Structure formats: structure tokens, C-alpha cells
Structure 1
Amino acid sequence: MSKGSHTADPDERTAAVTTAAPSPTASPGAGFTRPGGMFSSLRVRNYRYFFAGQIVSNTGSWMQRIAQDWLVLSLTHSPLAVGITTAMQFLPTLALGLFGGVLADRMSKRRLLIATQGAMGLLAAGLAVMTITGTVTAYYVYLFALLLGLVTVVDTPTRQAFVSEMVGPKDLSNAVSLNAANFQTARLVGPAVAGLLIAAVGSGWAFALNAVSFAAVIGGLLAMRPSELRTVDRIPREKGQLREGLRYVKDRPDLMWPLVLAAFIGTFGFNFPTLLSGFAYGTFHVGPGEYGLLNTAMALGSLAGALYAARRGNPRLRWLTGAALGFGVLEVLAAGAPGYWTFAVLLTLVGVFGLTFNTAVNSYVQLATDPEMRGRVMGLLVLVFTGGTPVGAPLVGWVTDAYGARVGLLACGAVSALAATVVGLVLARCADLRLRVNLHRGSRVVAFVPRTTTSQSRSQLATAC
């Protein structure tokens, strides 16, 4: 599991975070606000430590993914068992994802991350010991995957919400994009290293190295200067905080509809393990080398998308929905690719737009959310974006088995494109409501201002369509 595909945001710790109405003449802009440079967030000391730890840690995570799949295949000789392992890892998010966000809002995110990263390291070490000693079975792998998923329920929304405490709103989108670039770079390196290790000494040592890699993240968290993190008031433990988070999103169409779009994209659009294997073996009739190349093509596209997003500023709704639409359309085009190499090229573009949407929705939701609600809202984003995998993957797998990989990818792309179009139209009609983000001197000003209203006070927030 990724230890840092998205991270936190530190900035000026004294900067105020307010909610007020912007100037009615301010232009919402198209796409992104003004960029601050591809690596602007790395100017922040705390984020540099975190980013460096992620380089090591994400590589270890990808090593474990490959080694774990290979271990299950070698134990069971069943691809279905690999799917069960993946489902075990995602099921806790589907069932408990929102509770992780509540904990993130209640506790120190830095300390919570130290605990979750340490727990992940211990789980990797336990699996390594069992594998090296020859006592591991498929059921033990399922158990470790389930336990890892339970820890991830807390770790992921905490890590994503922590970004704003490290770098602040001005560099938030850049930090999220660099985290994604970090993750995709590890995606290129980790599997190759894992393959060499498995061939040379077995899967167990890949798990062992992943366990050690968590020390890099924990070391980075311990080396941070807490005084340089942005101060966010933690909420006290009270009943009804989960429902409060859901009501908050329900009353914010600027948050609700991007989350709806993320749910459709995550459930149907991102089912590439099933689809790519179907194209490689069932459509183009190529071997494992060419299958690996398809994954590499997507990783390269995702890396390019992350670096492009890092050059830009904070995303707007039009950019978010446009990236989702491009992602869906490209999947439809790829479904009809006449040959292997055309498919590989289109797959690279799918990776660009998919990663752009991923970073855009993450940055946008964080910027549009009040600090005291950020953990719960990010928990909801994680739930809808990744929690749909146990639902979408079997459905897409059934369509692919019954009608072929082309129909499966065509359906995924069509659903993604349709969802992006509908959400875009709804937001256009609703907004009369425009989201404005004022990043002047590190402050965040978010408000909905009816376009057609001139007599209302500028400070009045419109929160319904």
C-alpha cells in the first residue's frame, strides 16, 4: 500500500484561515491559479523531509505489492486468490473509511502518522519472517492484507489532510502533485527491484526491505519542526461527528459533486489490473514482457501528469471535470485501438489524464474544506475513490470475461465520460455558485457568490443549488 501518494501541507504557521466572500469582480480563472514553480513546495523544510522519506518508502511499497502477488500465485496457482488479497486490503476502507477521517480531525496528524507507519512496518516485517521461514500460507497473506487495510483506513486520510499543515494552501496542489510524481517514480523502480529480489532470494526479502523502508518516513516525521506546521485546532471527542461531516458535504455542492465524480471514476475508471491483463493475453496475444510494458506506459503517463500538475497552481472545478472527461474519452478511444503499440500510446495518455484528475480532486477538496473538517472530508474522498474497488473490480471483471477486454474498457470509459459531463453540467447550473480561493499571504478565502445576485450581502454564503 502506498505510504505517500498524497501528503500534507505546511506553510506560515501564523496565517489565518478564514471564510469570507471574495470580490465580485474577481475572475475565477480557468484551470489553475498562478503557478509557483514545479518544485515550489520543496522550499518548505518539513515537506522536504517527508518527501525524501517517501522516495524510499514508496519504492518499498511497490516491491511488496509485486512480491505479495507472486507469493499468492506461487502458493495457490490461482489469479482469483490474488484478487481476494486485493479485496481484503480495500474492504476496510469501504466499511470504515469515514472513521479514519474522524480520528484525523481529533488527533495530532504527525503523531498519528508515526503510529500508522510504524504499524505498517511491523506488518511487513511479520510477513517477511513467515515467508522466509516457510510458514506462510495464503490465509496468512489474506490476514496481513486485511490488517494492512485496517491501518490504511486511518493512515490515508490523515496523510492527505496533513499536507495543508506542512505547506499551506499556496503550495498544496504542488505538494500533492509531487507526491504523485514520487509515487509513480517508485512504481517504475519498485517492481523491477522486486523482480530481481524474488528471482535471487525469494519474496520474503522484498517484504523485509519494505519493512525497513518505513524507517525513512518515520525518520522524516520525527525530524520535522512542529513549530513550523500550520496550527489546526483539533476537535474534541463528541458524538455525531461522523454525521456532522456528512452533513457538511451535503450542504456544500462544490464538495459533494466532485466527490460524486470521484466515486464513479474510482469505481469504474481505474480497473486496469483486470483490463490490461485481458488486453495482453486475450486481445493482442502477447507475453508477460509486453504486459509489463503496458503497465510501464501507464506509469510514465501518470508521472508526466503529476509533473505537469506540479507546474500549475491550485485547481478549479473546470479543470477537474475536464480532466475526468478527457480520461473517459481516452479510455473509449483506447478500447478501439487497432494494434498493441497504438494501445500502449493511448494508455500513456490515459495515465496523464487519470493522474491529473487524481491530484486535482485531492487538492481541490482540501482547499475547499474548512480545516476542522478536513480529516473527515478526506476520509470520505478516500472512501468513494478507493472504496469502490471491491464493487467495481468484480463487475468489470465479469464484463471482460463475458464480452472481452475491449467492451470492458469501453464501458469504463463511457461511464467515466458520462459522469464527468453530468457533473460538469450540474456544477455549471448550480454555480451561480462560484468557488473562489484567495491565497493572498497564505490565507484561504472560500465563498459561494451567486452570479446573478446584486442586492445580497457579499458575505452571505449560498450553499444550495
Structure 2
Amino acid sequence: MLRGKASATGEARRARSSAFTSLRIPAYRQLWWAGLFSFLSVQMQFLLRGVLAWDLTESEGALGLVYFSFGVSMLIATPLGGVAADRLPNRRVLVVSQSVLVCGAIGMGIVVVTDVAQLWMLVIAAVAQGFAFGFYGPARMAFAAKLVGRDQIGNAITLSMLSLNGTRVFAPAFAGMLAGIAFFGIGGAYLVSGTFSVLALVFLLRCPHGEVIGEVSTSGPFAEIADGVRYVREHAPLRRLVVSSFFVIMFGFNYVAFIPALVKDVFGLSNGYVGLLMSGSAIGAVVVSFWLARHADGPNARRLMIVSGVCFGGAVLALALAPVFALAVVAVAGVGAAAAGYQSLSNTIALSMSDDAHQGRVQSLLMLSFAGFGIAAGPLGLLAEAVGLRVAMALMGVVAASACVAYVVIERVAPFDGVVDRRTSSVVS
């Protein structure tokens, strides 16, 4: 009897530890800490950017313009970032990108503290951050895959998402709190964000170089981009995943851009409630990520991804229709949970279907959906001003859920053209 209890306790302990198995690798642990501080800085700026744009203009269109600028720059940089991730040492790409993020955060802090901030400065900062992210994202994902190996890709990506979503639990509320304190204000909050960004750079400098796998190509960057697009196009299951993910993220994730307007204009509340609502989304994401870390490398990953995507769209719709702020908090927790599941699993499945020489470029194509998210924010901001914010957000949720349903339908009716899951050498379709 005692042996049975001890065995059950041991199994439970192993199940808990398996959720953090990638963190046992020292090099990945350095990368994870770098990501934690970088995401903490970025999440603070995400809220501060929206609050500052609203304070300067009180216009949904201005909110959309800032995110539109971010999206356009990311759209340009991300394909080049994918090439850099496949053809340059990953740490070098990450260090340069993080340095740009440091300059952007500190620069905005200075112009706000000196009371010279204008909307065009915010747009320039958004453009710089978009370029930096275009290189940072593919390099970080490709680097993580190299450090942990294919059998732990899902766990490593989920833990990376956990660091992202964990910072979202308190970073927006922390930024909102600092912005509301006279001693700090928005400028001081930006400078605190810049300090976290510097810490991220320190951890990156402690990572290994992340040398290039395979032969060094002599082709130009645009030829390398074309090769990556051709690679995805020729692998139909991978192509369908990338296209569906583009629509889910481009429309569904835009709910974040309009949270300041939802809280202030619809519910009539202050900046602190903006941070609270964004933190509610993060709490849902963190809860799901702990569970998902043990299942992301399992056989049901694709099914979980589809369910997460449909639930994500439905939760955005529920957020749009929430009659009171308390119900909006409940809805946004569901948004965060479903979004974390969909994003982690879609990245895991895409990487598992890609060979080593194309992982950076495949990730860059997936990240283009975030560029699309930024670009769509401009037209969606104008739509919100024309038909109302709730209607525009409801349409975002409907499109996101419909994209997942369409993916399921196309997968079922498409002719079999499976590709190899390189973690298991099994064929997936």
C-alpha cells in the first residue's frame, strides 16, 4: 500500500517536472530568462504605447495608426529575419535586435519625461520595434529548437510562451500603475521598461553562439526568402497551417489594440483598468500553458490547436458583447487561454514539419500574421469609428473562428499529401 502511494507520488512529481524539462538545459535556460525580461519590457510598452497614443489624440484611428506602423515594419523585416535565423549565428541576431528594443524604450522614456512627445515619435518607435521583432522572433524560435532538440520542441515553445504570457499577468498592471503615479508617469514607466530590456540583453550575451546548421548559402537574401516561400508552398499541410494561422492572428489578436478604447470609451474607466483587463487575458494564458507544456509534444497536438483556435474566436466575440466590465474580465481570460494554446501548438506543429535549414524562414512566415495583425489594426480602427467598437471586435472574433473551421474542412477534403513529423518520423496530414 505504501509502495503504491510512493509510486503515485513519484509519477505525479515526474509529471510536474516534465512541464519544465527544457529548463534543465543551461543554454536554453539563459535564453528563457532573456525572453522573460524582454517580454516584460515589451508588454509594458504595449500598454504604454496605447495609453500614450490615446492621451495625445483621443482617437481610435490614432491607436490603429500606431499598430499599423508596427505591422508594416514587421512585414518588411520578418522575411529577412527568417533568412538571418537560418544563415547567421542566432545569438548575434538576437543581440542586435534586443539592442534596438533597448534604444526604443529608453528613447521614448526620455521624450515623454522631457514633455516633447508627439504622435510621430510614437510611430517611429513602433516602426523600430517592428523591425527588431521581425528579426528577434524567428531567431529565438530557431535557437530554442537547436538548444533542446526536436523531441522537446513543443515543451520549449510552450515554456517560451509561458514567459511571454507570465509577464502579461502583471506587466500591464505594473505599467498602468507606474503611469498613474505622478513621480513616474508614462515616461518613467518607459524607462523602467528599458531597464528590463537591458537585463534581457545581458542574458543573451551569456548564451552560446547558435552556429548555422548545414552549408552556408551564397544566395542573396531575396533568393533565400523565395526559397522559404517555395518550401512552404510545396508542403501542402504546412502551407494550410501557415495560411489559416495568418487569418486567426491577423484578425483575432487585434482585440489587444483596442482594449484602451474599450475600457475608457465603452466602460468609462481609467488606465489602471486597462492593465487589469490585459492581465486577465494573461492569467488565462498562464493557466493553460502549465498544462500544455506536458502535452504539446503529444499525439493530440493538432486537435488541441484547432479547438483552441475556435475557442479563441468565440472568446473575442464574447469580449465584444460583454455588457459590464466584470464579464469582460471573464471573457478576456478565455481569450488569453485559447490564444496561448493556439499560438504554442501552431508553432510547434510547423517546426516539427520543417527541416533544420528552413526553420527560421518557416517561423518568419508564421510571424507575418503578426505583421498582418498590425496592418489590419489601421482599417479596423476606422471600421470601429464607423460602426462602433463592439461591432468591429465581434467581427474579429467571427473571422478568427471561421478560419479554424475552414482549416478543418480543407484538411478533411484535401488529397493525401502528408509530410514527415521530424520528431517521430511519422507521416502527418
Query: Quick check: 1:278–1:400 contact (8 Å CA) kept in 2?
Result: no
Asked if 1:137 is matched to 2:118, the reply is yes
Cα distance per residue 1:334-368 (max 9 Å; x no partner): 55556543443233222211110011111111111
Question: What corresponds to 1:193 in structure 2?
Answer: 174
The verdict on how the C-alpha distance between 1:245 and 1:231 changes in structure 2, with shifts beyond 3 A counting, is closer
Query: Quick check: 1:96–1:153 contact (8 Å CA) kept in 2?
Result: yes
Q: Which moved more, 1:398-407 or 1:321-330?
A: 398-407
Asked if 1:411 is matched to 2:392, the reply is no
How many Å separate the matches in 1 of 2:266 and 2:366?
A: 34
Instruction: Give the AA of the match of 1:323.
Output: S
Question: What corresponds to 1:367 in structure 2?
Answer: 352
Query: Quick check: 2:44–2:175 contact (8 Å CA) kept in 1?
Result: yes
Asked if 1:80 is matched to 2:61, the reply is yes
Query: Quick check: 1:318–1:424 contact (8 Å CA) kept in 2?
Result: no
How does the TM-score come out when normalised to structure 2?
A: 0.85
Shift in Å, 1:325: 1.9
How many Å separate the matches in 2 of 1:434 and 1:154?
A: 30
Shift in Å, 1:412: 2.1
How many Å separate the matches in 2 of 1:322 and 1:392?
A: 24
Q: 1:354 aligns with which of 339, 343, 364?
A: 339
Question: What corresponds to 1:207 in structure 2?
Answer: 190
Q: 2:407 aligns with which of 423, 426, 438?
A: 423
Asked if 1:38 is matched to 2:23, the reply is no
Query: Quick check: 1:105–1:234 contact (8 Å CA) kept in 2?
Result: no
How many Å separate the matches in 2 of 1:206 and 1:294?
A: 18
Question: What corresponds to 1:387 in structure 2?
Answer: 371
Question: What corresponds to 2:86 in structure 1?
Answer: 105
Q: 1:271 aligns with which of 254, 268, 287?
A: 254
How many Å separate the matches in 2 of 1:391 and 1:419?
A: 18
Gaps of 5+ in 2: 1-14
Asked if 1:295 is matched to 2:275, the reply is no
Gaps of 5+ in 1: 1-33, 450-465
Give % identity.
24
State how 1:167-316 maps to structure 2 within 5 Å. Answer: 167-198=148-179, 199=181, 200-225=183-208, 232-233=213-214, 235-239=216-220, 240-273=223-256, 276-277=259-260, 279-280=262-263, 290-314=273-297, 316=301
Asked if 1:445 is matched to 2:425, the reply is yes
Root mean square deviation, CA, Å: 2.9
The verdict on how the C-alpha distance between 1:109 and 1:397 changes in structure 2, with shifts beyond 3 A counting, is same
How many Å separate the matches in 2 of 1:435 and 1:35?
A: 32
Query: Quick check: 1:176–1:363 contact (8 Å CA) kept in 2?
Result: yes
Query: Quick check: 1:106–1:237 contact (8 Å CA) kept in 2?
Result: no
Shift in Å, 1:424: 1.0
Query: Quick check: 1:165–1:231 contact (8 Å CA) kept in 2?
Result: no
Shift in Å, 1:197: 3.2
Q: Which moved more, 1:355-364 or 1:137-146?
A: 137-146
Instruction: Give the AA of the match of 2:94.
Output: L
How does the TM-score come out when normalised to structure 1?
A: 0.79
Instruction: Give the AA of the match of 1:426.
Output: I
The verdict on how the C-alpha distance between 1:347 and 1:179 changes in structure 2, with shifts beyond 3 A counting, is same
Going by fraction, where is helix more abundant, 1 or 2?
2
Question: What corresponds to 1:344 in structure 2?
Answer: 329
How many Å separate the matches in 1 of 2:23 and 2:51?
A: 36
Question: What corresponds to 1:25 in structure 2?
Answer: none
Shift in Å, 1:292: 4.3
Shift in Å, 1:212: 2.8
Shift in Å, 1:130: 3.4
Shift in Å, 1:386: 0.6
Instruction: Give the AA of the match of 1:224.
Output: C
Tell me the SS of whatever aligns to 1:426: helix
Question: What corresponds to 1:149 in structure 2?
Answer: 130
